[in-house]
Amino acid sequence: MSHSPPNRRQFLADTGMGFTGLALGSLLAGEGISRADSTVPSGIAEIAPKAKSVIWLFMLGGTSHMESFDPKPALNQHVDKTFEETPFGDNVLNSPFYRKNVRDFAGVPRDLMPKIYPLQIGSRPQGQSGIEMSDWWPHLATCVDDLAIVRSMWTTDNDHAAQLQFHTGRHIFDGLYPSIGSWVHYGLGTANKNLPQFVVMGPPPRDCCGGVGAHGASYLGPEHAGVKISTDPDNPLQFGTPGDRVYLAERRQQLELLNDLHELTAVEYPNDATMRARIKSYELAFRMQMAVPDVVSMQSETDATKDLYGLDGKETRTFGQQCLIARRLVENGVRFVQLYHDGWDAHRALYKNHSGNTRQVDQPIAGLLKDLKQRGLLDETLVVWATEFGRTPGAQNADGRDHHPYGFSVWLAGGGIKGGMTHGATDELGFHAVENRHYVTDIHATVLHQLGLNPRSLEVPGHKRLEIDFGSPIREIIA
């Protein structure tokens, strides 16, 4: 009887399960493996995709919709009046939404800052579309004809755990669920095997408010969670460099040994999904060590491009670097880039807070949109600007606004989205969404739809989802 010669994997398995098996076992045990790999999706889009990547810009703290993308001049006409004293009082106070969600919340009447607080900045029509926008966004105003502004968002968490709710669709009391970025990673897989496919930059929500759960993967498995990077080209990945004393040649030799151990283990434990996932992480770690610093480095960018993002400005430099790196990441095939910007919680001194924050992000965001557009990338890149909730029409602490989940704004651009339009509306005082209302998972559904994914086909056995988890694409803003 003839026998074919053993292949490399078989040879290793037959000869090396002694010391080498112990070495790999020790290495993996040090990583604290605790769960089996989840079901692997097909990675094949079910809908004709209009976008390849997403850049997700999230403002932590709660940006006032009235001082950004949904100005309400009626506020200035009724300063210091209560809602009841305005011509719109009945519309607000007697609406089923207000009575169900505000007045009788937990059986305790709530007034939610009843004294009307005036707009802290002017507004004007912008672009050919004539969309009214706050004067705090002069750079973004030049891009308004590329934006679809959704003015009728709502959520249910009135505290900052709404940050987690916006990203997962679930209240913090429900526990941790996969974030929108992790669903994209899970559904589409990799477009560049040398880079992480879900990247996070900026300060994440605090632990009280969901923490890393806002870019976590929950039961999908940690391999689908966001990978945090910095703008430092010398060390963009925390704990991702082999150390100053390890030469590149040594690192390559280490990886060659690991590859041998991986092949050996694949033969001996072909059904161990956890082992396969960990092996992939080691292989990806080395490739990322080589590739990420090049993407983060901006030495090849022209001065004109750097100026576009405001890299020379003290206030715009940090977020400008993140936005420019986001463009470089999607340009290199990264699926989902999530940028956090913190500090919008304006219970006091709203004018100082929001004017300062918009100076930090306005030019970088506009620069990002213009740069994507001039490179032909905006058509295939979906940009989303969002925040956890809006702020109250009434005053808090004399010169601030409180949290407000009953009506607020987000916008989308590129990736097959119509530009130069608004969708939905809040009432005359900006109190609650009254027209084409959308829960936060409708944004998720829109993103997945534009990427060619049906969220209902991404379910994982053993993890039942609620109907509201899926959301519905906002078809009125889809081109």
pLDDT tens per residue across span 391-417: 999 999 999 999 999 999 999 999 999
In angstroms, rounded to a whole number, what is the distance separating the alpha carbons of residues 333 and 194? 10
- Non-local CB neighbours of 211 within 8 Å, separated by 6+ positions: 164, 204, 205
Asked whether 103 and 93 are in contact (CB, 8 A), the reply is yes
Phi, psi of 382 (to 5 degrees): -95, 120
Q: Which residues partner with 138 through β-bridges?
A: none
- pLDDT tens figures, 126-151: 999 999 999 999 999 999 999 999 99
Q: Which of 20-24, 250-254, 340-344, 457-461 has the highest mean pLDDT?
A: 340-344
CATH of 52-233+303-477, one of 3.40.720.10, 1.10.3720.10, 3.30.70.20, 3.40.50.880: 3.40.720.10
Can you tell me whether residue 127 is helix, strand or coil? coil
Provide the pLDDT for residue 166: 98
Half-sphere exposure of 374 (CA within 13 A, CB side): 10
* Least confident stretch, 24-38, 110-124, 327-341: 24-38
Q: Note the helical H segments in 375-406.
A: none
In angstroms, rounded to a whole number, what is the distance separating the alpha carbons of residues 418 and 416? 7
Provide the pLDDT for residue 262: 66
In angstroms, rounded to a whole number, what is the distance separating the alpha carbons of residues 396 and 67? 15
In angstroms, rounded to a whole number, what is the distance separating the alpha carbons of residues 262 and 266? 6
- For the chain, what is the mean pLDDT? 85
- The DSSP output letter for 417 is B
- pLDDT tens figures, 350-393: 999 999 999 999 999 999 999 999 999 999 999 999 999 999 99
Provide the pLDDT for residue 87: 87
CB atoms within 10 A of CB 232: 13
CB atoms within 10 A of CB 450: 24
Can you tell me whether residue 221 is helix, strand or coil? coil
How far lies 321's CA from each of 111, 230, 273, in Å? Answer: 42, 10, 38
In angstroms, rounded to a whole number, what is the distance separating the alpha carbons of residues 124 and 132? 5
More confident residue, 25 or 338: 338
Q: Write out the E strands in 310-463.
A: 336-341, 381-387, 390-391, 403-404, 408-413, 421-423, 425-426, 433-435, 438-439
- Letter for the amino acid at 408? F
Please report which confidence band the pLDDT of residue 250 belongs to, taking 50, 70 and 90 as the band edges.
Answer: low
Q: Is the pLDDT of residue 106 over 70?
A: no
Here the tokens at position 215 are 């870019």
In angstroms, rounded to a whole number, what is the distance separating the alpha carbons of residues 442 and 295? 32
* pLDDT > 90 fraction of the chain, expressed in percent and rounded: 63
Asked whether 175 and 216 are in contact (CB, 8 A), the reply is no
Half-sphere exposure of 126 (CA within 13 A, CB side): 28
Sign, Cα dihedral of 155, 161, 164, 170? negative
Q: Among candidates 62, 59, 66, 58, which has minimal Cα distance to 431?
A: 66
Q: Is the pLDDT of residue 273 over 70?
A: no
